Amino acid sequence: MPLDPEAFHAHALAAADADHRLPLARMTSWDISPFEPDGLRVSPLRPPVLPEAARHGEDPADCRPCRNRDEGIWFNDHWRLERVKGVGVPLVLMLYPRDHHDMADLPDDLAAELGLLSTRLVRHVQALPYIARAHVYRIGDGAAHLHVWFFARPAGMGQLFGSWLPVWDDLLPEYPAEVADADAALVAEALIASHGGRRTPAP
């Protein structure tokens, strides 16, 4: 029988201390963790709140990605790609459908294209100088409009491996914007060559 929210909360609290703090995650002892376990503590586990708060853009009339459907570094009729600014890793890109869709309601033809686009974007990001890996993330808790993150992990920086990369990105100083802009332009041109599309939205 699946656990309802109250039962899930009670199950989790059984492993917590008197202040409702769970033990540190195993990840904090990994050698790639950005934090030393000494002095770290887990935030108290809060009880569930239902119904959940609405995500940004649940109403397409109030959706920022819909308003910005003509902004980015690459476009085709269905998708657009933006460079995320102010990041610490060499490059972070965000892929959006130009129309208002989330992952669960993405039409099959767009879902198929998302697979191709994601694969090609990973190839093009990993072809950049000094980039070892392209990480791909889809979360979806903050905004209703589908957005897929592509993080470039710098070569040689083994401490930035894996699921800690977005945390390291938040800790690192901002990567030089002119270098990121040039790399983003290379990815956009490579995507045009491999997938079609254009650097500006359709007139």
24, 37 Cβ separation under 8 angstroms:
yes
Q: Give me the pLDDT at residue 175, please.
A: 97
Query: Domain 60-195 is in which class?
Result: alpha beta
Sign, CA dihedral 108-76-134-42, equals negative
46-85 pLDDT, tens per residue? 999 999 999 999 999 999 999 999 999 999 999 999 999 9
pTM passes above 0.85:
yes
The answer to whether residue 203 scores a pLDDT higher than 90 is no
81, 120 Cβ separation under 8 angstroms:
no
- Give span(s): CATH 3.30.428.10, the chain: 60-195
For residue 32, how far is the Cα from the chain centroid?
Answer: 19
> Span 12-26, mean pLDDT?
94
Give the Å distances, CA to CA, from 60 to 55, 84, 105, 159. 11, 22, 14, 40
